[in-house]
Amino acid sequence: MPALADAEQLLAELAPLLGKHRMSALVPNQKGLDRAMRAGVREVAVFASATESFAKANLNNTVAGSLDIFRPVVKEARDAGLQVRGYISMCFGDPWEGKVSTKQVADVAETLFESGITELSLGDTIGVATPGEVVDLLDALDDRGISRSLLAVHFHDTYGQALSNTLTALLEGITTVDSSIAGLGGCPFAKSATGNLATEDLVWQLHGLGITTGIDLEALVQTSHWLCDKTGLPLRSKTAIALANETRTDEVR
């Protein structure tokens, strides 16, 4: 994968942080795992799809075929003492196939856990999920005996539902939430999909709920503005925009 070509260089720069913070490296196949292990990574990730269309577009394989590739990769990683995070894309909707059934997702989830993953992130890749659908999927995974303590959620904000979906997941017992600084991200196969849940918006919500994150929101917002200035990418965090506007207003006063 071209985007991963300089992964070793990046990990060398991050080496001082590897033992202090949780960092996961995407390993699409055995070669990726070998590279990650040589670089000293202690957690790797595999990405599966709930739908055949996305498996073909993103992995050039079938759902079953990609799971067959991941199985020995996960086993070797676990045998080496690594943690393995699984991801399932298109858990709620697919740009080619439409609505995705909870059974499709649960089947893939069950197979991934049987292969040995230690955590699973449920991806709303094109941002179409609503709170009721989040509850339905978690209930379906309950029926397969999959503990919510092993699950994470990964929402995109295409329809403005990422925060409400996250709150629903929290109330349902999920404690791990994926997000991205400035709300960056997207999906190359779904042009309407916007970025991920913005970390700044998530932290604002969690602090409002009285949940301690250990994150300095002011420093995070400063970093998000710096990053968007450097990359030219749009800032999608409402919290980062609002807090910056408040600062400018205070300066004028």
Task: Report which of 125, 118, 117 is spatially closest to residue 95, judged by C-alpha positions.
Answer: 125
Q: What is the pLDDT of residue 244?
A: 87
Residue 250 pLDDT greater than 70, yes or no: no
Residue 187 pLDDT greater than 90, yes or no: no
Give the number of other CB atoms < 10 A from CB of residue 96: 13
Question: Active site includes 187?
Answer: yes
The confidence band for 1, taking pLDDT boundaries of 50, 70 and 90, is low
* Mean pLDDT for the chain overall: 93
Identify whether the C-beta of residue 194 lies closer than 8 Å to the C-beta of residue 125.
no
Task: Report which of 174, 231, 171, 243 is spatially closest to residue 204, judged by C-alpha positions.
Answer: 243
**% of the chain exceeding 70 in pLDDT:** 95
Q: What is the pLDDT of residue 157?
A: 95
φ/ψ (deg, to 5) at 156:
-100, 160
Q: Which H or E element spans position 94? A: strand 93-94
Tokens linked to 14: 């991050």
Question: Which whole number is the average pLDDT over 178-207?
Answer: 89
The confidence band for 74, taking pLDDT boundaries of 50, 70 and 90, is very high
Per CATH, the architecture of 2-181 is what?
Alpha-Beta Barrel (3.20)
Side-chain half-sphere of 193: how many Cα atoms within 13 Å? 23
The confidence band for 252, taking pLDDT boundaries of 50, 70 and 90, is very low
Residue 253 pLDDT greater than 70, yes or no: no
Residue 138 pLDDT greater than 60, yes or no: yes
Residue 247 pLDDT greater than 80, yes or no: no
Helix axes 199-208, 217-231, angle to 10 degrees: 170
Q: Name 196's bridge partners.
A: 156
Asked whether the CA dihedral 220, 225, 230, 235 is positive or negative, the reply is positive
Dihedral angle of Cα 146, 151, 157, 163, to the nearest 10 degrees: 100
Sheet holding 119-124, edge to edge: 25-26, 43-49, 83-89, 119-124, 151-155, 176-178
Question: Which whole number is the average pLDDT over 96-110?
Answer: 98
Report d(CA 192, CA 25) in Å as an integer.
Answer: 27
* pLDDT, tens only, 55-64: 999 889 999 9
φ/ψ (deg, to 5) at 99:
-65, 140
Domain positions in the chain? 2-181, 198-253
Active-site hit among 187, 193, 235, 243: 187
The confidence band for 5, taking pLDDT boundaries of 50, 70 and 90, is confident
Please indicate, yes or no, whether the overall pTM of this predicted structure exceeds 0.75: yes
Report d(CA 140, CA 60) in Å as an integer.
Answer: 28
Q: Which residues have CB under 8 Å from 23's CB, separation 6+?
A: 14, 17, 41, 42, 43
Residue 26 pLDDT greater than 90, yes or no: yes
Residue 133's SS3 state is helix
The confidence band for 246, taking pLDDT boundaries of 50, 70 and 90, is confident
Q: What is the pLDDT of residue 161?
A: 97
